[in-house]
Homo-oligomer: A and B are copies of this chain.
Protein backbone atom coordinates (compact mmCIF):
# COMPACT_ATOMS: atom_id res chain seq x y z
CA UNK A 1 0.00 0.00 0.00
CA UNK A 2 1.34 3.40 -0.95
CA UNK A 3 1.83 6.13 1.65
CA UNK A 4 -0.86 8.79 1.23
CA UNK A 5 0.72 12.24 1.00
CA UNK A 6 -0.81 15.68 1.39
CA UNK A 7 1.28 18.61 0.21
CA UNK A 8 0.21 21.77 2.00
CA UNK A 9 1.54 24.76 0.09
CA UNK A 10 2.09 24.69 -3.65
CA UNK A 11 4.78 27.33 -4.16
CA UNK A 12 8.44 26.99 -5.13
CA UNK A 13 9.06 23.91 -2.97
CA UNK A 14 5.57 22.41 -2.90
CA UNK A 15 5.13 22.13 -6.65
CA UNK A 16 8.51 20.45 -7.03
CA UNK A 17 7.94 18.05 -4.14
CA UNK A 18 4.54 17.15 -5.62
CA UNK A 19 6.14 16.21 -8.93
CA UNK A 20 8.83 14.21 -7.12
CA UNK A 21 6.37 12.33 -4.87
CA UNK A 22 4.17 11.52 -7.84
CA UNK A 23 6.92 9.46 -9.51
CA UNK A 24 7.69 7.30 -6.43
CA UNK A 25 6.30 3.76 -6.40
CA UNK A 26 5.76 3.71 -2.63
CA UNK A 27 3.81 6.94 -2.18
CA UNK A 28 0.93 8.81 -3.77
CA UNK A 29 -0.47 12.30 -3.60
CA UNK A 30 -3.95 12.41 -2.09
CA UNK A 31 -4.11 16.16 -1.99
CA UNK A 32 -2.37 19.42 -2.83
CA UNK A 33 -3.49 22.35 -0.71
CA UNK A 34 -3.25 25.78 -2.30
CA UNK A 35 -4.12 29.07 -0.66
CA UNK A 36 -5.22 31.19 -3.61
CA UNK A 37 -6.56 30.58 -7.12
CA UNK A 38 -3.57 31.88 -9.09
CA UNK A 39 -1.46 30.37 -11.90
CA UNK A 40 -0.10 27.83 -9.43
CA UNK A 41 -3.62 26.52 -8.85
CA UNK A 42 -4.14 26.27 -12.60
CA UNK A 43 -0.90 24.27 -12.81
CA UNK A 44 -1.99 21.84 -10.07
CA UNK A 45 -5.29 21.37 -11.89
CA UNK A 46 -3.50 20.83 -15.20
CA UNK A 47 -1.21 18.25 -13.59
CA UNK A 48 -4.22 16.41 -12.23
CA UNK A 49 -3.37 16.76 -8.53
CA UNK A 50 -6.42 16.61 -6.23
CA UNK A 51 -6.74 20.26 -5.23
CA UNK A 52 -7.88 21.42 -1.78
CA UNK A 53 -8.28 24.81 -0.12
CA UNK A 54 -6.91 25.59 3.39
CA UNK A 55 -10.39 26.41 4.76
CA UNK A 56 -14.04 27.09 3.88
CA UNK A 57 -13.36 30.75 3.19
CA UNK A 58 -10.59 30.03 0.68
CA UNK A 59 -12.78 27.34 -0.86
CA UNK A 60 -15.36 29.97 -1.72
CA UNK A 61 -12.70 32.17 -3.34
CA UNK A 62 -11.65 29.23 -5.51
CA UNK A 63 -15.24 28.55 -6.50
CA UNK A 64 -15.76 32.19 -7.42
CA UNK A 65 -12.62 32.02 -9.57
CA UNK A 66 -14.09 28.98 -11.36
CA UNK A 67 -11.43 26.54 -10.12
CA UNK A 68 -12.84 23.28 -8.72
CA UNK A 69 -11.46 22.11 -5.39
CA UNK A 70 -12.27 18.86 -3.68
CA UNK A 71 -12.62 20.27 -0.20
CA UNK A 72 -10.56 21.73 2.61
CA UNK A 73 -7.29 20.82 4.35
CA UNK A 74 -9.27 19.14 7.13
CA UNK A 75 -11.14 16.97 4.60
CA UNK A 76 -7.95 15.60 3.07
CA UNK A 77 -5.90 15.24 6.26
CA UNK A 78 -8.40 12.74 7.60
CA UNK A 79 -7.34 10.13 5.05
CA UNK A 80 -3.62 10.93 4.76
CA UNK A 81 -0.52 9.29 6.25
CA UNK A 82 1.90 12.18 5.81
CA UNK A 83 1.54 15.92 5.40
CA UNK A 84 4.44 17.77 3.79
CA UNK A 85 4.14 21.38 4.86
CA UNK A 86 5.67 23.64 2.22
CA UNK A 87 3.97 26.86 3.28
CA UNK A 88 6.06 30.03 3.81
CA UNK A 89 8.49 30.09 6.77
CA UNK A 90 6.68 30.36 10.10
CA UNK A 91 3.30 29.27 8.76
CA UNK A 92 4.14 25.60 9.31
CA UNK A 93 4.36 26.22 13.04
CA UNK A 94 0.77 27.53 12.99
CA UNK A 95 -0.40 24.66 10.80
CA UNK A 96 1.06 22.21 13.33
CA UNK A 97 -1.92 22.99 15.60
CA UNK A 98 -4.19 21.60 12.86
CA UNK A 99 -2.00 18.58 12.02
CA UNK A 100 -1.69 17.58 15.69
CA UNK A 101 -5.42 16.93 15.77
CA UNK A 102 -4.96 13.94 13.43
CA UNK A 103 -3.43 11.11 15.44
CA UNK A 104 -1.00 9.06 13.43
CA UNK A 105 -0.51 11.78 10.81
CA UNK A 106 3.22 12.18 10.18
CA UNK A 107 4.44 15.73 9.63
CA UNK A 108 7.26 17.03 7.44
CA UNK A 109 8.31 20.69 7.57
CA UNK A 110 10.75 22.86 5.65
CA UNK A 111 13.86 24.72 6.85
CA UNK A 112 12.02 28.04 7.08
CA UNK A 113 10.54 26.74 10.34
CA UNK A 114 12.51 26.81 13.56
CA UNK A 115 14.01 23.46 14.65
CA UNK A 116 11.50 23.03 17.48
CA UNK A 117 8.62 22.61 15.00
CA UNK A 118 9.54 18.92 14.65
CA UNK A 119 11.02 16.03 16.54
CA UNK A 120 14.20 16.17 14.48
CA UNK A 121 15.95 18.27 11.84
CA UNK A 122 16.74 16.04 8.89
CA UNK A 123 19.24 15.59 6.10
CA UNK A 124 19.36 12.20 4.40
CA UNK A 125 23.12 11.64 4.14
CA UNK A 126 23.61 12.65 7.78
CA UNK A 127 20.83 11.18 9.89
CA UNK A 128 18.34 9.10 7.89
CA UNK A 129 18.56 6.11 10.20
CA UNK A 130 18.04 8.25 13.33
CA UNK A 131 14.89 9.67 11.76
CA UNK A 132 13.22 6.30 11.08
CA UNK A 133 9.69 6.28 12.47
CA UNK A 134 9.78 9.86 13.76
CA UNK A 135 6.39 11.54 14.07
CA UNK A 136 7.69 14.77 12.57
CA UNK A 137 10.78 15.92 10.69
CA UNK A 138 12.12 19.27 9.54
CA UNK A 139 14.01 19.13 6.25
CA UNK A 140 16.72 21.78 6.70
CA UNK A 141 16.96 24.77 4.34
CA UNK A 142 18.65 24.80 0.94
CA UNK A 143 21.96 26.27 2.16
CA UNK A 144 22.11 23.92 5.13
CA UNK A 145 21.24 20.94 2.93
CA UNK A 146 24.13 21.89 0.65
CA UNK A 147 26.57 22.18 3.55
CA UNK A 148 25.40 18.94 5.13
CA UNK A 149 25.63 16.91 1.93
CA UNK A 150 29.24 18.05 1.60
CA UNK A 151 30.22 17.60 5.23
CA UNK A 152 28.57 14.21 5.77
CA UNK A 153 30.34 13.03 2.62
CA UNK A 154 33.72 14.51 3.58
CA UNK A 155 33.69 13.09 7.09
CA UNK A 156 34.08 9.66 5.50
CA UNK A 157 37.60 10.73 4.46
CA UNK A 158 38.77 11.78 7.92
CA UNK A 159 37.41 13.37 11.10
CA UNK A 160 36.66 17.06 10.59
CA UNK A 161 38.38 19.50 12.94
CA UNK A 162 36.62 22.66 11.82
CA UNK A 163 34.58 24.21 9.04
CA UNK A 164 34.50 27.84 7.95
CA UNK A 165 32.06 28.76 5.19
CA UNK A 166 31.12 32.00 3.47
CA UNK A 167 27.68 31.86 1.86
CA UNK A 168 27.08 34.19 -1.08
CA UNK A 169 23.31 34.05 -1.25
CA UNK A 170 20.94 34.85 -4.09
CA UNK A 171 18.61 37.74 -3.23
CA UNK A 172 15.32 36.36 -4.58
CA UNK A 173 13.91 33.49 -6.58
CA UNK A 174 13.37 34.12 -10.30
CA UNK A 175 9.63 34.70 -9.92
CA UNK A 176 9.84 37.07 -6.96
CA UNK A 177 9.27 40.73 -7.84
CA UNK A 178 9.35 42.50 -4.50
CA UNK A 179 12.66 41.45 -2.98
CA UNK A 180 16.11 42.98 -3.27
CA UNK A 181 18.80 44.17 -3.25
CA UNK A 182 19.27 45.11 -6.88
CA UNK A 183 22.60 46.92 -6.47
CA UNK A 184 24.23 46.11 -3.18
CA UNK A 185 26.07 43.50 -1.19
CA UNK A 186 24.17 43.02 2.06
CA UNK A 187 25.73 41.47 5.15
CA UNK A 188 23.10 39.02 6.33
CA UNK A 189 23.62 38.96 9.19
CA UNK A 190 26.27 41.54 10.13
CA UNK A 191 27.02 39.66 13.35
CA UNK A 192 28.84 36.36 12.93
CA UNK A 193 28.06 33.53 12.82
CA UNK A 194 25.08 33.29 10.47
CA UNK A 195 22.30 30.87 11.41
CA UNK A 196 23.50 28.29 8.89
CA UNK A 197 26.17 27.03 11.29
CA UNK A 198 23.56 26.49 14.03
CA UNK A 199 21.33 24.81 11.49
CA UNK A 200 24.10 22.40 10.48
CA UNK A 201 24.52 21.60 14.17
CA UNK A 202 20.78 20.94 14.49
CA UNK A 203 21.44 17.82 12.39
CA UNK A 204 25.09 17.06 13.20
CA UNK A 205 25.82 18.58 16.63
CA UNK A 206 29.49 17.61 16.80
CA UNK A 207 30.80 19.64 13.82
CA UNK A 208 32.77 22.79 14.74
CA UNK A 209 31.43 25.18 12.12
CA UNK A 210 31.22 28.96 11.71
CA UNK A 211 29.41 30.54 8.76
CA UNK A 212 29.23 34.09 7.41
CA UNK A 213 26.67 35.17 4.83
CA UNK A 214 26.01 37.98 2.38
CA UNK A 215 23.12 38.52 -0.01
CA UNK A 216 23.87 39.64 -3.57
CA UNK A 217 21.70 40.78 -6.51
CA UNK A 218 21.07 37.54 -8.37
CA UNK A 219 18.24 35.02 -8.57
CA UNK A 220 19.80 31.80 -9.82
CA UNK A 221 21.76 29.95 -7.12
CA UNK A 222 23.68 30.39 -3.91
CA UNK A 223 27.47 29.94 -3.89
CA UNK A 224 29.47 28.77 -0.88
CA UNK A 225 33.19 29.06 -0.33
CA UNK A 226 33.94 26.27 2.13
CA UNK A 227 37.12 25.61 4.10
CA UNK A 228 37.34 22.28 5.95
CA UNK A 229 40.24 21.36 8.18
CA UNK A 230 40.62 17.61 8.73
CA UNK A 231 42.18 16.17 11.87
CA UNK A 232 44.35 13.94 9.69
CA UNK A 233 46.27 14.44 6.47
CA UNK A 234 44.66 13.30 3.24
CA UNK A 235 45.19 13.77 -0.49
CA UNK A 236 43.51 15.72 -3.26
CA UNK A 237 43.00 12.45 -5.16
CA UNK A 238 41.18 10.88 -2.23
CA UNK A 239 38.92 13.93 -1.85
CA UNK A 240 38.02 14.00 -5.53
CA UNK A 241 37.43 10.24 -5.53
CA UNK A 242 35.03 10.48 -2.59
CA UNK A 243 33.19 13.54 -3.92
CA UNK A 244 32.84 12.14 -7.42
CA UNK A 245 31.34 8.87 -6.21
CA UNK A 246 29.03 10.42 -3.60
CA UNK A 247 25.30 10.65 -4.20
CA UNK A 248 23.56 14.05 -4.42
CA UNK A 249 26.79 15.77 -5.46
CA UNK A 250 27.56 16.75 -9.05
CA UNK A 251 31.23 17.47 -9.67
CA UNK A 252 31.53 20.05 -12.46
CA UNK A 253 34.81 20.24 -14.36
CA UNK A 254 35.42 23.80 -15.55
CA UNK A 255 38.25 22.64 -17.82
CA UNK A 256 35.89 20.41 -19.79
CA UNK A 257 32.67 22.45 -19.63
CA UNK A 258 33.85 26.06 -19.37
CA UNK A 259 31.41 26.54 -16.51
CA UNK A 260 32.59 28.97 -13.83
CA UNK A 261 29.37 30.69 -12.78
CA UNK A 262 25.81 30.06 -11.67
CA UNK A 263 24.45 31.51 -14.93
CA UNK A 264 26.31 28.92 -16.99
CA UNK A 265 25.20 26.09 -14.68
CA UNK A 266 21.57 27.11 -15.00
CA UNK A 267 21.92 27.44 -18.78
CA UNK A 268 23.16 23.83 -18.92
CA UNK A 269 20.25 22.74 -16.72
CA UNK A 270 17.79 24.57 -18.99
CA UNK A 271 18.89 22.29 -21.81
CA UNK A 272 18.18 19.13 -19.83
CA UNK A 273 15.85 19.60 -16.89
CA UNK A 274 12.27 20.67 -16.22
CA UNK A 275 12.34 24.16 -14.63
CA UNK A 276 16.17 24.03 -15.01
CA UNK A 277 16.29 22.34 -11.62
CA UNK A 278 19.59 21.17 -10.16
CA UNK A 279 18.72 19.16 -7.03
CA UNK A 280 22.33 17.98 -6.89
CA UNK A 281 24.85 19.97 -4.86
CA UNK A 282 27.29 21.31 -7.47
CA UNK A 283 30.95 21.22 -6.46
CA UNK A 284 33.38 22.98 -8.79
CA UNK A 285 36.06 20.35 -9.28
CA UNK A 286 38.74 22.82 -10.37
CA UNK A 287 38.21 24.92 -7.25
CA UNK A 288 39.18 22.08 -4.92
CA UNK A 289 42.49 22.86 -3.22
CA UNK A 290 44.24 21.07 -0.37
CA UNK A 291 46.68 23.09 1.74
CA UNK A 292 49.20 21.46 4.07
CA UNK A 293 47.58 18.08 3.47
CA UNK A 294 44.61 18.80 5.73
CA UNK A 295 42.95 22.11 4.80
CA UNK A 296 40.42 21.71 2.00
CA UNK A 297 39.00 24.74 0.19
CA UNK A 298 36.34 24.65 -2.51
CA UNK A 299 33.43 26.46 -4.14
CA UNK A 300 30.00 24.87 -4.36
CA UNK A 301 26.66 26.05 -5.76
CA UNK A 302 23.18 25.39 -4.39
CA UNK A 303 19.99 25.60 -6.46
CA UNK A 304 17.73 27.06 -3.81
CA UNK A 305 14.49 26.06 -5.52
CA UNK A 306 15.17 22.34 -5.87
CA UNK A 307 18.00 21.06 -3.67
CA UNK A 308 15.69 20.00 -0.81
CA UNK A 309 13.30 18.04 -3.03
CA UNK A 310 15.10 14.66 -2.75
CA UNK A 311 15.38 15.07 1.04
CA UNK A 312 11.61 15.67 1.26
CA UNK A 313 10.99 12.38 -0.55
CA UNK A 314 13.46 10.61 1.76
CA UNK A 315 11.79 12.20 4.79
CA UNK A 316 8.53 10.49 3.81
CA UNK A 317 10.35 7.15 3.67
CA UNK A 318 11.93 7.83 7.06
CA UNK A 319 8.73 8.65 8.93
CA UNK A 320 6.83 5.80 7.21
CA UNK A 321 9.79 3.38 7.49
CA UNK A 322 9.56 2.70 3.75
CA UNK A 323 13.32 2.24 3.49
CA UNK A 324 15.65 1.00 6.21
CA UNK A 325 18.80 2.83 5.25
CA UNK A 326 19.93 6.09 3.66
CA UNK A 327 21.45 4.08 0.80
CA UNK A 328 18.11 2.42 0.05
CA UNK A 329 16.07 5.64 -0.11
CA UNK A 330 18.81 7.54 -1.94
CA UNK A 331 18.91 4.89 -4.63
CA UNK A 332 15.13 4.98 -5.16
CA UNK A 333 14.83 8.77 -4.99
CA UNK A 334 17.80 9.56 -7.18
CA UNK A 335 16.89 7.02 -9.84
CA UNK A 336 13.30 8.23 -10.02
CA UNK A 337 14.34 11.90 -10.20
CA UNK A 338 17.27 11.38 -12.54
CA UNK A 339 19.93 12.78 -10.22
CA UNK A 340 23.47 12.64 -11.58
CA UNK A 341 26.95 12.52 -10.05
CA UNK A 342 28.52 13.73 -13.28
CA UNK A 343 27.75 16.71 -15.46
CA UNK A 344 24.55 16.68 -17.57
CA UNK A 345 26.33 16.00 -20.86
Contacts and interface: CB of A to CB of B under 8 A. Distances in A.
A150 to B, nearest CB: 16
Interface in A206-257: 210, 212, 214, 216-223, 225, 227, 254
A190 B223 contact: no
A193 B189 CA distance: 26
B218 A183 contact: yes
Given A214-B168, A216-B217, A299-B212, A187 B289 contact: no
A217 B214 contact: no
A256 to B, nearest CB: 12
Interface stretch (A44-52, A91-99, A259-267): A259-267
Contacts of A190: 254, 260, 284, 286-287, 299
B186 A289 contact: no
Interface of A: 164, 166, 168, 170, 181, 183-193, 210, 212, 214, 216-223, 225, 227, 254, 260-264, 284, 286-287, 289, 291, 297-299, 301
Nearest to A254: B190
A168 B215 CA distance: 10
Given A190-B260, A212-B225, 11 more contacts: A164-B297, A168-B216, A186-B263, A187-B260, A190-B254, A190-B286, A190-B287, A191-B289, A210-B289, A212-B299, A214-B225
Contacts of A254: 187, 190
A184 B287 contact: no
B263 A184 contact: yes
A223 B225 CA distance: 14
A260 B221 contact: no
A272 to B, nearest CB: 19
A65 to B, nearest CB: 33
A186 B227 CA distance: 18
B185 A168 contact: yes
11 contacts: A168-B214, A181-B263, A183-B219, A183-B263, A185-B221, A187-B261, A190-B254, A191-B286, A192-B289, A210-B297, A214-B299
Contacts of A166: 166, 225
Given A168-B168, A210-B291, A289-B193, A188 B260 contact: yes
Contact of A297 (B170, B212, B301): B212
Nearest to A189: B260
Nearest to A298: B192
A185 B287 contact: no
A212 B286 CA distance: 13
A225 B291 CA distance: 19
A165 to B, nearest CB: 9
B297 A186 contact: no
Interface pairs A-B: 5 shortest CB-CB = A184-B263, A216-B216, A186-B261, A192-B289, A166-B166
A143 to B, nearest CB: 13
A262 B216 CA distance: 10
A183 B299 contact: no
B220 A218 contact: no
Which one of A188, A210, A214 has the greatest number of beta carbons of chain B within 10 Å?
A214
Contacts of A216: 168, 185, 216-218
Contact of A185 (B223, B227, B298): B223
Nearest to A284: B190
